[in-house]
Structure 1
Amino acid sequence: MSTQYLTSAQLESTVATPESLRPWLTELTSTPVHDDHTRPFAHPPVASTTVVLRTEPSGRRRAFVVGAQTKAAYSRAEEPAGCVRLRLAPGVSRPLLGVAAGELTDRVVRLDELPGPLGTAASDLTRLPADEAVRYLEDLLPHQVSETATERAHRLVLREAISALTADLAPSVPDLAARLAVSERQLRVLFATGIGVSPKHFARIDRVRRVLAYAGNTPWSHLAADTGYYDQSHLTADFRTIMGVPPAAYLHGRLPAPTRCRLPR
């Protein structure tokens, strides 16, 4: 029996990111309170760290951090809530949160448990309405976040690497390392600390998310070629590993049973 799943992308709207926050954020989205508990959520993997400001109908606000998610998850909300999501730019986890992105991979933690400037500001962020919280960050981050020349250089390398890996003809990891004039080991360390996954897994997540964006409108064989797979069987195997089900099953809603949302206490 198939179940009609929602994704957060179906409910959330993009909010213009203030210019002053663009060095730190790649995306700012808002999701209104959603109280339909009959439809579970599908969460595709994502290769980034996200700060979530959650508002419950009672007015209670909570702030937590979702690390890079290496595989899909399927969950059901226990209560309605609205969320503002601040997707962090590659390489800013340590300056903002006080920990490397790799320490948060596949985890959900309370923001106030982290030692960086955002963790210190968690109590203020949870008492302010969403629009005021964003303005608060505009004042906070330029003055509270420090970054060394080495960290800035690492962010530039990550940005170039991501641009290459998300291109139509993505290079292999050895070729990418050579292009960026770093060793393969250095490149893996940069991705682990700045993004939370390896370059290879980053590329796998990107390909699967591109498949999800076009699935249903393009033949599988064409989609495999367009997204960088060797062939359709390679696409199917990668999709099953990351999404938990084959592509056709996902499209028809034949998905794993939903579990509880992972919210930190």
Structure 2
Amino acid sequence: MTNSVSGWAPRTPDELRPWIAGIKALAVEEADPRKPFVQLPDPTTKVIVRSEGRGRPTLLVSGPRVRAAYHAGKRQVSCTEVRLAPGAVRPLLGVPAVDLVGRIVPLGALPGQAARQLAYELGRLEPEEVVARLADVLPGLLPTAVGGTRTELLRAAVAALSVRSGHIPGHVREVARELAVSERQLRNLFSEGVGLSPKHYARIDRVRAVLAHATELASAELAAVTGYYDQSHMTSDFRTLMGVPPRSYFTGRLPAPRACQVIDSQ
């Protein structure tokens, strides 16, 4: 048996863009428990609406994930992942992003009034209904767009440290200097609004870029355009975050799958 997985990215409504960086939907119809599902390192915090079989959905918040995880597959699972924009975690969930690193928490257990209201609004929906309902209720829960000087600085720094077409990410010291803040101030901004240090955010973003473009470019060129010093530097970072070197990963020699992470109710 092979895993049967379908995924798609619903359009993020304009009224959600101050808070939402993107939305992803995933459905698993059949799964081979011997073949792991890979959860990539991810610097973002996500609200997840997850359904298994015909049961009621589970509403979760998944904090930034600093390393890849390999899990055994489950059948008939569908979920919608709502990725929060930098600086949106505390206004929506009531906690700084750093408090959620490596954790999976029930949405309704978080202290933010908006989080509790979202848990109520989304608790009886199918995953495919989530986006439309978010567009209806979220602007009312957060009537003032996420903004201000701190958030603007944070988002400018995130953009400067991210790999994107035609842009090689800068180093943390350079980005701090360009934004006229100290490296300590930049670390504080990232801790509050992203959950990771600027250096760790950039490290995860580079590895994700390598994964996204590995079939398009030779290794040396890929290392250069993603901001690594050289191919050896790229391989070392990849091994640390993914648990295996690039060659092993791309030829399917993956770590043994483990049970899914336990939900933290605290």
Q: Judge conservation of contact 2:223–2:231 (CA < 8 Å) in 1.
A: yes
1:51 pairs with one of 26, 44, 47: 47
**Over residues 32-81 of structure 1, what are the superposed CA-to-partner deviations in whole Å (9 max), with x where a residue is unaligned?**
24322343211110110011101121232111011111111111134431
User: Is 1:89 paired with 2:85?
Assistant: yes
Q: Judge conservation of contact 1:49–1:88 (CA < 8 Å) in 2.
A: yes
Residue 263 of structure 1 deviates from its aligned partner by 4.8
Mapping 1:110-129, distance limit 5 Å: 110-116=106-112, 117-129=114-126
2:59 pairs with one of 59, 63, 73: 63
Partner of 1:142: 139
Note the residue ranges of structure 2 that are not aligned, 5 or more in a row: none
Q: Judge conservation of contact 1:95–1:147 (CA < 8 Å) in 2.
A: no
For the aligned residues, what is the CA RMSD? 2.2
Residue 94 of structure 1 deviates from its aligned partner by 0.3
Letter paired with 2:234: L
**Over residues 61-110 of structure 1, what are the superposed CA-to-partner deviations in whole Å (9 max), with x where a residue is unaligned?**
11101111111111113443100110111100000011111111111111
Moved more, 132-141 or 198-207: 132-141
Q: Judge conservation of contact 1:95–1:146 (CA < 8 Å) in 2.
A: no
Letter paired with 1:70: V
SS at match of 1:64: strand
Question: Distance in 1 between the 2:248 and 2:161 partners?
Answer: 28
Note the residue ranges of structure 1 that are not aligned, 5 or more in a row: none
Question: Distance in 2 between the 1:64 and 1:37 partners?
Answer: 25
Mapping 1:158-237, distance limit 5 Å: 158-167=154-163, 168-237=167-236
- TM-score, with structure 1 as normaliser: 0.89
Q: Judge conservation of contact 2:161–2:169 (CA < 8 Å) in 1.
A: yes
Identity %: 45
Question: Distance in 2 between the 1:227 and 1:199 partners?
Answer: 16
Question: How many residue pairs are counted as aligned between the two chains?
Answer: 258
SS at match of 1:123: helix
Question: Distance in 2 between the 1:146 and 1:185 partners?
Answer: 31
Question: Distance in 1 between the 2:252 and 2:134 partners?
Answer: 39
Letter paired with 2:73: A
Partner of 2:21: 26
Cα–Cα, structure 1 residues 201 and 81, in superposed 2: closer, same or farther, change >3 Å?
A: same
Please list every run of at least 4 consecutive aligned residues from structure 1 whose deviation after the TM superposition is greater than 3 angstroms: 130-133, 146-149
Question: Distance in 2 between the 1:147 and 1:179 partners?
Answer: 28
Residue 169 of structure 1 deviates from its aligned partner by 3.0
Residue 140 of structure 1 deviates from its aligned partner by 2.3
Q: Judge conservation of contact 2:209–2:226 (CA < 8 Å) in 1.
A: yes
Question: Distance in 2 between the 1:180 and 1:217 partners?
Answer: 33
Partner of 2:148: 152
Q: Judge conservation of contact 2:80–2:128 (CA < 8 Å) in 1.
A: no
Letter paired with 1:119: R
Question: Distance in 2 between the 1:118 and 1:245 partners?
Answer: 37
Q: Judge conservation of contact 1:5–1:253 (CA < 8 Å) in 2.
A: no
**Over residues 221-259 of structure 1, what are the superposed CA-to-partner deviations in whole Å (9 max), with x where a residue is unaligned?**
222122111111111111111111111111111111111
SS at match of 2:176: helix
